[in-house]
Structure 1
């Protein structure tokens, strides 16, 4: 499906974009924020198609849903998907649709300087040149400052679209020069239905994977495609091991297990890099459940592990949970920056254990 029709459960962002286009009020810089895998990049590409489509077509309000309404007749504008411009953009062959993404863990100043050389020239054929900067939170400070110059004096017929996880990941001066559009996590039911339809998984397994994906289509697709992994059993093993070896008491408590047993867990995790990031996300979700249980037990994600969650919730404070979640965030960033994997995981396990 071309354009916005391929983007699931993001009616509000699409309504805003189509309204801006219809009114001729598209700003020179847009910032799309939201967790990974909710359609930010795809929406940026669809909007580039819309702004340069040679045909365009209306989708009725009944087809699109009431929240899409951007035109007076209750419809919204969608790119045709079949004209020369749309086909080029969809196949990533349009010379004026420029995608910048991190090289490795960072987006460096050389990439932004090269971009500056390109946009200094007029667009080749596009009505509106689009510069899509994916994962803008990965820009180095030098790259961010270099981009700021282009945002302050945008070239003619050029629109910047930045995607990032959250506003706080970017320098405030960049945020202040962009129109912010927030993308919400994908609902659990939508991800579950997708997994059942695409991978023919049973509803129970699909719901577990959807919960672990935490609102991200891309994570759910990755997990669903990896059929050789029994995610339900892997999750239970991991969380039971964390609960047993990394005691969820206060930081001042003594470690419940000898260091050797704690490090055995980090050894297992470091030995399976393919599942490492999903495993760390599982631990974060479990810690979130421990916090949520204190106030809304019915809203925990790992509902089949409610007994261990209740037990842990009685032993750990919100402050300690936050400290442990922050430790996981720090470990994830260090791993992305190519820090020593085993050392990073050893330190993380000690922090989870309260050591």
Structure 2
């Protein structure tokens, strides 16, 4: 049961995890970190199920259905924005105190571990300080915003942004047109999950035109463009935020280096040359604001409540 083979564009990670499994050199806690949508959760599940399948060959059907009694996954509840202390101390901890039911290990996977409240983080820390000998915890996070004391007790596993060619290959194998796939890959910032969503958007070319028009208008100080941009973001918040971030990144890089070869999208050279001069620190601040918007959108914050 080698589901690690399904992980796209993370060869170093896959090689490391396979070595851990083959040599039975397992840590009690791992931190899978890197950009959103690059396969961290998929890899966490594949790693856990791969080991459990070796230890419990008869439990493969249970693993496929995510119903194995030695696998516990903690996720943010639909009506919450954080992972709570109760999820750690009242759900995970009593479950982890029980010895393995079918396998030799018990796995806990905590998705979006950066969303742990301070109280939940402290409860988790107590477990990490003295974990049961059979326990393996995998924390999955898009950020490093986790308590230092927790980080120090985890084996870090870094995931990279996925290459454009790898993303195109994934999309085309799912029946998406090559040009649509390439356009989605360019704007996805190395995220397979984002590219899959973007590739399903109708009128992708028209939305690019809308994003560029709004960006140019804003750069030239046209106040009406604020309302146009807000309306556009409301209609397609995730897509437009990725597009604006891509444009801003290209503006920043080109204004810093004057090297068109470094642009994510070559057509942006003419657009950038048509813009008025802007201080690099202002462009950098704009990039940070759009990235903050993307982060909030991932956790279901209404874009109308954002101060943009």
Report the TM-score, using the length of structure 1 for normalisation: 0.79
* Equivalence for 2:239: 278
Between Structure 1 and Structure 2, how many residues are aligned?
Answer: 303
Go from structure 1 to structure 2 and tell me whether the alpha carbon gap of 1:199 and 1:5 turns closer, same or farther (over 3 Å shift). Answer: same
- Asked whether 1:155 is paired with 2:132, we answer yes
Secondary structure of the 1:99 match is strand
Per the alignment, residue 117 of structure 2 pairs with 140
Structure 2 counterpart of 1:351? none
Give the CA RMSD over aligned residues: 2.2
- How many angstroms does 1:197 deviate by? 2.7
Question: 1:304 Cα shift?
Answer: 2.2
Bigger shift: residues 128-137 or 298-307: 298-307
Match of 1:241 among 211, 214, 218: 214
Alignment partner of 2:191 out of 198, 216, 219 = 216
Q: Which residue of 2 aligns with 1:18?
A: 18
In the TM superposition, residue 265 of structure 1 has moved relative to its aligned partner by: 2.4
In structure 2, the CA distance between the partners of 1:12 and 1:302, relative to structure 1 (3 Å rule), is: same
Say which of 244, 269, 289 aligns to 1:306: 269
Contact 1:28 1:158 in 2 (8 A): yes
Out of 318, 322, 330, the position equivalent to 2:284 is: 322
Q: Which runs of 5+ in 2 are unaligned?
A: none
1:109-152: per-residue Cα shift (whole Å, max 9, x none)?
11111211211111211211110111111111221111111111
Q: In 2, distance between residues paired with 1:27 and 1:34?
A: 19
Pair 7,95 (structure 1): closer, same or farther in 2 beyond 3 Å: same
> Residues 142, 287 of structure 1: CA spacing in aligned structure 2 closer, same or farther, 3 A cutoff?
same
Q: 1:341 to 1:15 in 2, by over 3 A?
A: closer
Q: Distance in 1 between matches of 2:161 and 2:233?
A: 27
Task: Give the superposition deviation at 1:85.
Answer: 2.6
Mapped partners of 2:139, 2:301: distance in 1: 27
Question: Which stretches in structure 1 are left out of the alignment for 5+ residues?
Answer: 57-82, 249-255, 349-355
> TM-score when scaled to structure 2?
0.90
- Paired position in structure 1 for 2:203: 230
The CA deviation at 1:209 is 0.7
- For 1:53, what is the secondary structure of its paired residue? helix
**Change beyond 3 A, Cα 1:158–1:318:** same
Question: Aligned pair in 2 of structure 1 residues 146, 193: CA closer, same or farther (>3 Å)?
Answer: same
Distance 1:333 1:208, change over 3 A: closer
The answer to whether the 8 A contact 2:31-2:154 is kept is yes
Aligned to 1:66: none
Looking at structure 2, the residues matched to 17 and 191 of structure 1 have their Cα atoms a distance apart, in angstroms, of: 22
